[in-house]
Structure 1
Amino acid sequence: MVSTIRWESGEDGVVLLTLDHPGRSANVMNDEFARSLAETVDRLEAERDRITGVIVTSAKKTFFAGGDLESLVRLTPDDAERTFTGTRALKRSVRRLETLGRPVVAAIGGSALGGGLEIALGCHHRIAVDDPTIEIGFPEVTLGLLPGCGGVVRTVRLLGVSDALVNWLVRGQRRRPQDALEHGLIDELAADGPAMVDAARAWIAANPDAAQRYDRKGYRIPGGTPASPGLAAQLPAMAAVLRKQLKGAPYPAPRDIVAAAVEGAQVDLDAAFTIEGRYFTGLATGRIAKNMIGALFFDVQAAGSRDIGDDLPPLRKVAVVGAGMMGAAIAYVCARAGLDVVLKDVTLEGARRGAEYARSRSAAAFSRIRPTAELADLAGADLVIEAVFEDPALKQKVYAEIEQVAPDALIASNTSTLPITLLAEGVSRPEEFVGLHFFSPVDRMPLIEVIRGKRTGDATLRRALGVARRLRKTPIVVNDSRGFFTSRVIGTFTNEGVAMLAEGIPAATIEQASSQAGYPAPVLALMDELTLTLPRRIRQETAAAVVAAGGDWTPHAADAVIDRMIDEFGRVGRSGGAGFYEYRDGRRARLWPGLRDAFGGTNSGVPFEDLKERMLFIEAIESVRCLDEGVLTSAADANVGSILGIGYPAWTGGVLRYVEQYEGGRPGFVARARELAARYGDRFTPPESLLLPGRTSWR
């Protein structure tokens, strides 16, 4: 049988246990590891009299990668008993390690996330290499899970309920070693790997009777148990904060983490492990974790691992044309990635203002940005990203100027809606023209939409994907269409929310429905952030293009609302200080009371579930159409793009996974879509492709 743990004994009696799963790039918590750990602990107990201490380290780049997601994503409720039994066995092995009666040190030379940190917490002392690329934390909640191998229980007992929940568990923070030291789960830092192991041996020699703090007589949980008056007084406020964060959305993991922490703090250690295991099992065998793991791990992995070859030309100098909000932010992320950047605007003053965006974030990045108003300064750029006003004629004029001074550069447009094929009419080499659609705020949003025009070449697409990789962005690749994928689909969401207002549904109810559906921003608040003039301009351009092509344009129920907001009330959104919301000192204050008089607000006859599902369904249906039309070429890109780019609720697993996981599967989705179409309009009519009998999955 394969062993995932190597054993080395030293003359000083210290056993070095090296986690090293053969044939894998990372150590994971699977059946082979569970068996190896149990066998290793058996041997440690049998040879205890000859052992002075134990060091647990890793041969991989990371310390330990956590749970085996390939196995976790396949779990169903039928696997509940097996899952609970398996996690209990793992916890028993870690518990035997920490009660061995010998000092045990975790030597963390790489990232320790999830299960890796849980193993480290089962040691008496934790030393990490002081490397800023190392991450330490419990990201399970971001995949719909909780730490199931003692992570909740041990963190609570080491730090206290409040500290454990706020700083480690509920939000899934990933901390650098120095930060983890300050927050109490790392005990010591070392300069490098050899120094780390030397420090571990020194600690063992100095602490022959080491034991976990919570195993020592008289130990009390920091901050007390939930029965303590001080903590009891804090719990309602903590619960209120959690409710505010979740906004009624169906994310059970944060709630279960809090429950496991609070309940576990009131019982003995073994009972606490059992409580944690039950909550973990419920999440791991449930649908939401399966959806989130599928989208946020496997689909993201698929999107980011495209083969771009090893023959790409070097990328050293980038020019960004247009120093507005988007251009300035794009320049910053390019400089942050170590590239030399020229940021050009019409005036030098404008370019300098754009460069200031980088100064406030990173002095090193700011030093790599050269603001300019001179076209000649673009010479020698390997990549030029255009980020000027959304006007085809203006953009094409800019491309002609770029080609004069940077004839060999890859030219990319950051347009969010204009067809790349149309814009490519302004360049002499359309095969070397591509769309690179960044999302705001650029430095925080992980997605980039790579748009392939009709004449964009394969080599150009690979270069664009290479840019995404250099900027550490997750790319999705879409074919050309007005609005592409993300802008086209998010437009159906915002239109649906505004159409509800036209139906007389109270604005507060609309906002609550979008929040409880799981959207990160309520729909009317999002409209204000986008600025109401933007969707109107996009609508007018699209309508003109449809009519010019000989088609008929059908207005949406949302159009009249937006037009009245702009033309009658002068409310254009947050940028204008007034939109669907009122603003004070630039901050959103409350929904505009005038909405009720302007559009009604007494329609309480629409089921609340319909309001939520109208937004979820309309985006899913439009995404299916994008797939049918060839705008999208993979389900992974659809799911990743919808969650990371336009805020589709992560609990669904993405727009296409939502269709498949809806109650009753695809037939259930089709039946519900027909119900919505009958009640609210033909836009909910399911695409014909969903009715094909032989097509059961996009994956």
Structure 2
Amino acid sequence: MPFHYDKDSDGIVTLTMDMSGSANVMNDEYRNLMGDAVSKLEGDEITGVIITSAKKTFFAGGDLNVLIAITPENASQALEGVEELKSQLRRLEKLGKPVVAAINGSALGGGFEIALASHRRIVLNDNSIRVGLPEATLGLLPGGGGVTRMVRLLGVQKALPLLMEGKQLRPERALQAGIVHQVVETREELISEARAWILANPAPTQPWDVQGAGVPDLKFGDPNSYGLLGAAPAVLRKKSHGAYPAPEKIMAAAVEGAYVDFDTALKIEGRYFVELASGQVSKNMITAFWFNLNEVNGRASSSGKRVAKLGVLGAGMMGAGIAEVSAKAGIEVVLKDVTLEAAEKGAGGLEGVKPTDSDEDLAGCDLIIEAVFENRELKNKVLGAAEAQALPDAVIASNTSTLPITGLAAAVPDAERFIGLHFFSPVPKMRLVEIIRGEQTSQETLQRALDYVRQIGKTPIVVNDSRGFYTSRTFATYVIEAITMLSEGVAPALIENVAKKAGMAVGPLAVSDEVTLSLQLKIHDQTLADDPSLVSESTAYDLIREMVGLGRSGKSTGAGFYEYPSDGSKKFLWPELTTRYVKADAGVSEQDVRDRLLFVQSLETVRCLDEGVLTSVADANIGSIFGFGFAPWSGGTLQFINSYGVQAFVERADYLADTYGERFRPPASLQDRDQF
């Protein structure tokens, strides 16, 4: 039986969850099993209950295959199912007998809601274990009583950050946060401590079921509550720009539920849950952050080889970041630069990183990653010298963001061992690595690259060779479109604010300053030198050239589209942008600004897919979100088209092409497609 019911001589029942499949999840099978188990407990003479798991995890949460299928049409049926699940947990905590969750693995989402319905939560002190309610990261809210119980357990002010940000806590941190009661060191203690607590507490009551109990920091008519209620929505709106409905609904469920009794609060929570689950944003986020992410992360671990010694060429910000994350993963790292002083500065005294100015120190490396300036001659020089010192079968990689890998592979004798490993800045924080296959890159080299990326805890996408590959090529369209609009007379503040409201991580003019306008100009000029046919229809580069000529190359020089005060105060848009470029009759609506910024990236992604640069939808969506901050609520550049409706997207793109230029003309491949 998937829920093992074992009653000992003291009358303590150990209910061990062991559902079919690799993990325990909330679905129809769970609902039937938990319903039967609760009914059996209610009819049995027991002393108490220990809930634990036979799986590696305690409980993985809701079945996302079920949740993504909820629509406005079947929402009422879904609500009935949710209410039944909550009713079971309510009956469990009102048995009149102690219930202890013995959390032997991660308990997330619905799994932690089961734990919250227990009178005591004891968790194994394993650093791999996480507990919490991460539903907001998938566009949902905890609909199994999570919002209602957390708010009554901690108060609104402490509960909302955990709920709205979907935080997953390690055991000790969960103990400090007050969401678990006890942390133990062994599995044996987990059960023995649960038994001891049951015997010492024969008739516990949940805090919210104590007579007169309410929400600790929110009382009806209490003026001390008004500050929180007034400020929180404004703070949230400033952060999310209204693009994410889940945090808003979580806040609404928390506050509305605080002013009613517990069971009514559960009903409020359930209705908000189904509203979110039947909406498009949750479907987008589930598609990207669960299905697509699992697909790209599932490719690794087939070479059987782990990197033992890594050589990084170039100790600048990128090279130093690659060295840091690799050393922290237990890899021996040699960080080489032109001078020992530069290498030592990049290494920063980090344990496991050897700074050097000598190629000879690269002897024995089984992976070399070049991270020098975007100059083909320099890259060829350092790659050839390093390859000569490394192991005969070492993988040789470039961190270039734009130069084709096939051309760079000429620097080494065996192009089959050459590959692109494109990291993103800042390397320690950015999750993505774009792996680029050259024309001659072998399958073994690709697999070893995938395994290295997983070894350092990053997420890999795999693309084929092309100028700018996928991420740089597509992200450039976002930046250039924004500068094009500025050259047409659109107000810079409107461009930046609309981009952030649309969900982009950073405004396009701000990010232009970060990467520097001079670099964008250099890449553009190099592209035209290599292939004069690649002339852009955009007027952006004339404006960029003018800005660079004015000495406004970006943040690193203290002046770009933004001013960067020398006293360290907040940056602000250069006022002269308005006087130089803005036109009162520019005639570009806010909706057109938004669509131009989003559509141009999705259209370029389709072209990358058509050309074979991209070979999977998952790579496109995950690469766009993790690589260049494409609006996470949309699920990525291709999921954005799905959610818009492919044919509706085509019609809107044709309008944009007729109005603003042929770069918006949808590829023919979209004409007969229903979805990606």
Same fold (TM > 0.5):
yes
Correspondence for 2:182: 188
CA distance in 2, matches of 1:520, 1:83: 33
2:363 to 359, 375, 379: 379
1:602 positional shift: 2.9
1:495 to 480, 495, 511: 480
Correspondence for 2:50: 55
Is the aligned partner of 1:579 residue 2:556?
Answer: no
CA distance in 1, matches of 2:213, 2:305: 61
Correspondence for 1:253: 246
CA distance in 2, matches of 1:169, 1:533: 43
1:586 positional shift: 4.7
Q: Is the 8 A contact 2:171 2:183 kept in 1?
A: yes
Correspondence for 1:640: 622
1:514 to 488, 492, 499: 499
Correspondence for 1:531: 516
Correspondence for 1:34: 31
Q: Which of 596-605 and 527-536 deviates more?
A: 596-605
2:325 to 330, 333, 336: 333
CA distance in 2, matches of 1:314, 1:98: 48
CA distance in 2, matches of 1:228, 1:190: 40
Q: Within 5 Å, give how 1:196-207 maps onto structure 2.
A: 196-207=190-201
CA distance in 2, matches of 1:592, 1:226: 48
Is the aligned partner of 1:25 residue 2:17?
Answer: no
Q: Secondary structure at the match of 2:335?
A: strand
What does the per-residue CA deviation read over 1:131-158, in whole Å, with 9 as the maximum and x for residues that have no partner? 2211111111111000010000000000
CA distance in 2, matches of 1:243, 1:13: 52
Q: Is the 8 A contact 1:315 1:382 kept in 2?
A: yes
Correspondence for 2:273: 280
What amino acid does structure 2 have at the position aligned with 1:380? G
Correspondence for 2:222: 228
Question: What is the percent sequence identity of the aligned residues?
Answer: 51
CA distance in 2, matches of 1:236, 1:204: 42
Q: Within 5 Å, give how 1:258-273 maps onto structure 2.
A: 258-273=251-266
Q: Relative to structure 1, is the Cα distance of residues 314 and 180 closer, same or farther in structure 2, using a 3 angstrom cutoff?
A: closer
CA distance in 2, matches of 1:313, 1:265: 54
2:8 to 7, 10, 17: 10
CA distance in 1, matches of 2:520, 2:190: 56
CA distance in 1, matches of 2:655, 2:627: 29
Alignment RMSD, CA only? 1.3
Structure 1 stretches of at least 4 aligned residues deviating more than 6 Å after TM superposition: none
CA distance in 2, matches of 1:494, 1:238: 32
What amino acid does structure 2 have at the position aligned with 1:533? S
CA distance in 2, matches of 1:244, 1:633: 37
Q: Secondary structure at the match of 1:441?
A: coil
Q: Is the 8 A contact 2:365 2:391 kept in 1?
A: no
Q: Is the 8 A contact 1:506 1:603 kept in 2?
A: no
**Structure 1, unaligned stretches of length 5 or more?**
360-365
Q: Is the 8 A contact 1:226 1:232 kept in 2?
A: no
Q: Relative to structure 1, is the Cα distance of residues 344 and 670 closer, same or farther in structure 2, using a 3 angstrom cutoff?
A: same
1:407 positional shift: 4.1
Q: Is the 8 A contact 2:300 2:454 kept in 1?
A: no
Q: Is the 8 A contact 2:527 2:534 kept in 1?
A: no
CA distance in 2, matches of 1:314, 1:517: 41
1:671 to 651, 655, 659: 651
1:312 positional shift: 3.3
TM-score between the two structures when normalised by the length of structure 1: 0.95
1:354 positional shift: 1.0
CA distance in 2, matches of 1:586, 1:391: 32
Q: Is the 8 A contact 1:226 1:262 kept in 2?
A: no
Q: Secondary structure at the match of 2:531?
A: helix
What does the per-residue CA deviation read over 1:506-536, in whole Å, with 9 as the maximum and x for residues that have no partner? 1111111101111111111111122212211
Is the aligned partner of 1:216 residue 2:213?
Answer: no
Q: Is the 8 A contact 2:475 2:628 kept in 1?
A: yes
1:605 positional shift: 2.7
Q: Is the 8 A contact 2:305 2:451 kept in 1?
A: no
CA distance in 2, matches of 1:140, 1:378: 46
Q: Is the 8 A contact 1:326 1:387 kept in 2?
A: yes
Correspondence for 2:115: 120
1:374 positional shift: 1.5
CA distance in 2, matches of 1:225, 1:668: 48
What amino acid does structure 1 have at the position aligned with 2:661? G
Q: Is the 8 A contact 1:344 1:371 kept in 2?
A: yes
Q: Secondary structure at the match of 1:367?
A: coil
1:394 positional shift: 0.4
Q: Secondary structure at the match of 2:307?
A: coil
Q: Secondary structure at the match of 2:427?
A: coil
Q: Secondary structure at the match of 1:17?
A: strand
Q: Which of 595-604 and 469-478 deviates more?
A: 595-604
Correspondence for 1:363: none
Q: Relative to structure 1, is the Cα distance of residues 300 and 183 closer, same or farther in structure 2, using a 3 angstrom cutoff?
A: same
What amino acid does structure 1 have at the position aligned with 2:642? E
Q: Is the 8 A contact 1:98 1:104 kept in 2?
A: yes
Correspondence for 2:430: 445
Q: Relative to structure 1, is the Cα distance of residues 99 and 390 closer, same or farther in structure 2, using a 3 angstrom cutoff?
A: same
Q: Within 5 Å, give how 1:220-619 maps onto structure 2.
A: 220-225=214-219, 227-248=221-242, 250-306=243-299, 308-309=301-302, 311-356=303-348, 366-408=350-392, 409-547=394-532, 551=533, 553-568=535-550, 570-584=551-565, 585-586=567-568, 588-603=570-585, 605-619=587-601
1:225 positional shift: 3.0
Q: Is the 8 A contact 1:4 1:33 kept in 2?
A: no
CA distance in 2, matches of 1:604, 1:127: 62
CA distance in 2, matches of 1:197, 1:87: 30
1:308 positional shift: 4.8
Q: Is the 8 A contact 1:157 1:221 kept in 2?
A: yes
1:109 positional shift: 1.2
Q: Is the 8 A contact 1:503 1:603 kept in 2?
A: no
Q: Is the 8 A contact 2:306 2:455 kept in 1?
A: no
1:600 positional shift: 2.0
What does the per-residue CA deviation read over 1:413-443, in whole Å, with 9 as the maximum and x for residues that have no partner? 0001100011011110101000000111211
Correspondence for 2:157: 162
What does the per-residue CA deviation read over 1:278-326, in whole Å, with 9 as the maximum and x for residues that have no partner? 00001111111111101111011111112652x4334211111111000
What amino acid does structure 1 have at the position aligned with 2:120? H
Q: Is the 8 A contact 2:399 2:422 kept in 1?
A: yes
Q: Relative to structure 1, is the Cα distance of residues 272 and 399 closer, same or farther in structure 2, using a 3 angstrom cutoff?
A: same
Correspondence for 2:171: 177
CA distance in 1, matches of 2:306, 2:629: 34
2:94 to 96, 99, 108: 99
CA distance in 1, matches of 2:446, 2:233: 48
CA distance in 2, matches of 1:571, 1:237: 38
**Structure 2, unaligned stretches of length 5 or more?**
none
Task: Tell me the matched-pair count.
Answer: 674
1:222 positional shift: 1.3
1:604 positional shift: 5.8
Q: Relative to structure 1, is the Cα distance of residues 552 and 441 closer, same or farther in structure 2, using a 3 angstrom cutoff?
A: closer
Q: Which of 260-269 and 236-245 deviates more?
A: 236-245
Q: Is the 8 A contact 2:214 2:258 kept in 1?
A: no
Q: Which of 367-376 and 619-628 deviates more?
A: 367-376
CA distance in 2, matches of 1:176, 1:20: 23
Q: Relative to structure 1, is the Cα distance of residues 510 and 269 closer, same or farther in structure 2, using a 3 angstrom cutoff?
A: same
Correspondence for 1:108: 103
What amino acid does structure 1 have at the position aligned with 2:627? G
TM-score between the two structures when normalised by the length of structure 2: 0.98
Q: Is the 8 A contact 2:466 2:613 kept in 1?
A: yes
Q: Secondary structure at the match of 1:343?
A: strand
